[in-house]
Amino acid sequence: MEMPLTPLEFSRRARKLYADRIAVIDGELRFTYREFFDRCDRWSYALQQMGIVQGDRVAYIAPNTHAQLEAFYSVPQIGAILVPVNYRLSAEEFAYIINHSSAVAVCVHSDYLAAVASIKNQLPGVKHFIALEEEKEGWVSYEKLIKLSRIKYTSADIQEQDLVTINYTSGTTAQPKGVMITHRNAYMNSIGSLVHFNLSVKERYLWTLPMFHANGWTFVWTITACGGTHVCLRKTDAQSIFHLIKRENITLFCAAPTVLISIVNAPEDLRKQAPAGIRVITAGAPPAAATIERIENELGWDLIQVYGLTETAPFISICEALPEHCHLSSSQSAVIKARQGVELITSGELMVIDGEDNEVPHDGTTLGEIVTRGNVVMKGYYNDPEATNKVLVNGWFHTGDMAVIHPDGYIEIRDRLKDVIISGGENISSVEVESVLLRHPSVKEVAIVGMPHEKWGQSPHAFVVLHQGHSLTEEDLRSFVGQHLASFKKPQWVTFVKELPKTATGKIQKYVLRGGRSNI
């Protein structure tokens, strides 16, 4: 008999094979897999006693804690749908997502109880408010109920096309959209990670990536599948990362490029104590080759780039290492590793197409849009058929990312469709200009956006964060770009800023920068 593809299959196997292995480390807390799943089962029972049934939505607002990780098992195994919410949003944004998803229960970490309490009267559909880490009047105590609950819950009849989560996009230009991820989507992405990253029971995984972001790139399930150890990190900063890497013998973590930048620019004493050989998986934005080179040369870590979106569960390509890459210099290797690569075995088909839906030539220069279809593409946007129909066309998901295909078949993102700068009829890739500027020894971070220009229509504007104690002029940077790129790609304007606006997952919010040069 065929069994539905679901990430809950990983928990069934882990219970059987890894019961006495350490599953989760959260500060001083240690849970074996037996203890971890005991807690999950007790919370599943408690939810059912509250009246939560199959298909109900349960929202969570929490950082990377053991309770947040437990949600990815306790909620779906009774057939309910988890809604992991970006905890860095405002109270009003919490209200929108909770109401839009029709969540009947909201589980909230201590840091966000006040924010949710302020909008309780705006949440008519919520029947249960649960405090995850403390007892508070008017709230159900998560830990107290787990202690009082029975282990035996009633399991649901889950089909692989049922929803496991609804993940809300960042909503940078409009209200956030709820991405419907199925059990099959999540299972296939996890299997792809297990295969391509060669994961094993020895993994000790550091949670630098928010679990709410595309289900932690499905590592909430993938690490359990291989019997590894989840090491929770509640606040992502370089000091905490290096401390836990050393204390907990970390072998692997995921991070957006902005987190990588903070790591390579951490104090020298932190970087020196870091062990070599750690694998780092990066995605979320194209990393600069200069950042990759520093991660690998200065720290001795192995960086792997993947590409995807929340809508694709999320991985659809990986920069897979080939034997011939071993003979490249470190700088040449970094250029290759900055590409988004090739399809994962499990994700499905990926193409780069022109405006006529034809695949672009494999010449490394012709720009087109990345489209994909297959096992990891979302079911659609929750309660938003119009938005769904805009991106799912004739069975293909249109990513909005512009890329080229190199002769070896590796794709390389040049920009978001909306971020391509058209100056005097020429296309300028903001990513390309950013990569050049990041080679400058004084530049810590940079973002390039297109701004209106009277003559050229648009021109590049560089927002630059310098290393502490460094100074540069606008002309210094324009001249530096001119040494590496065509003259028309040089920034027309340069603004030096203390920091760049970012999402909770470390993506630079270019729409904020476009709002005006005087706003930063």
Q: How far, in Å, are 47, 315, 365, 412, 449 from residue 402 at the CA level?
A: 44, 17, 11, 9, 15
Identify the residue with better confidence: 405 or 333. 405
Beta bridge partner(s), residue 252 = 205, 279
Mean pLDDT on 335-355: 93
Q: Are strands 57-61 and 103-108 parallel, antiparallel or unpaired?
A: parallel
For 85-139, write each residue's pLDDT tens digit.
999 888 988 999 999 999 999 999 999 999 999 999 999 999 999 999 988 899 9
Q: Residue 434 sits in a domain of what CATH number?
A: 3.30.300.30
For 415-450, write each residue's pLDDT tens digit.
776 777 877 666 687 888 888 898 899 999 999 988
Query: Is the Cβ–Cβ distance between 24 and 69 less than 8 Å?
Result: yes
- The confidence score (pLDDT) of residue 134 equals 87
Mean pLDDT on 175-186: 95
For residue 289, name the pLDDT band (cuts at 50, 70, 90).
confident
In a 3-state reduction of DSSP, which class is residue 178? strand
- The confidence score (pLDDT) of residue 361 equals 97
- Is pLDDT at 172 greater than 50 in this prediction? no
How many folded domains does the chain comprise?
Answer: 3
Tell me, yes or no, whether 262 lies in a domain.
yes
Among the listed ranges 80-89, 272-281, 408-417, which one has the minimum average pLDDT value? 408-417
- Is pLDDT at 143 greater than 70 in this prediction? yes
- Is pLDDT at 360 greater than 80 in this prediction? yes
Do residue 453 and residue 485 come from a single domain? Answer: yes
Tell me, yes or no, whether 16 lies in a domain.
no
Tell me, yes or no, whether 188 lies in a domain.
no
Do residue 140 and residue 47 come from a single domain? Answer: yes
Beta bridge partner(s), residue 368 = 403
Do residue 361 and residue 425 come from a single domain? Answer: no
Domain carrying residue 458 = 420-514
Do residue 401 and residue 443 come from a single domain? Answer: no
> What proportion of the chain, given as a percentage, has pLDDT over 70?
96
Considering 397, 416, 435, which residue would you say is the last residue of a domain? 416
Do residue 430 and residue 412 come from a single domain? Answer: no
Q: The tokens of 38 are what? A: 């005991």
- Is pLDDT at 519 greater than 50 in this prediction? no
- Is pLDDT at 513 greater than 90 in this prediction? no
Dihedral angle sign, alpha carbons of residues 268, 273, 276, 281: negative
Identify the residue with better confidence: 326 or 62. 62
Considering 385, 416, 447, which residue would you say is the last residue of a domain? 416
Mean pLDDT on 231-240: 94
For 361-393, write each residue's pLDDT tens digit.
999 999 999 999 999 999 999 999 999 999 999
> What proportion of the chain, given as a percentage, has pLDDT over 90?
72
For the chain, the average pLDDT equals 91
**H or E element, residue 294:** helix 289-299
- The confidence score (pLDDT) of residue 174 equals 63
Query: Is the Cβ–Cβ distance between 269 and 243 less than 8 Å?
Result: no
3-state SS of 91-146 is HHHHHHHHHHCCEEEEEECHHHHHHHHCCHHHCCCCCEEEECCCCCCCCEEHHHHH
- Is pLDDT at 403 greater than 80 in this prediction? yes
Q: Residue 376 sits in a domain of what CATH number?
A: 3.40.50.12780
- The confidence score (pLDDT) of residue 520 equals 36
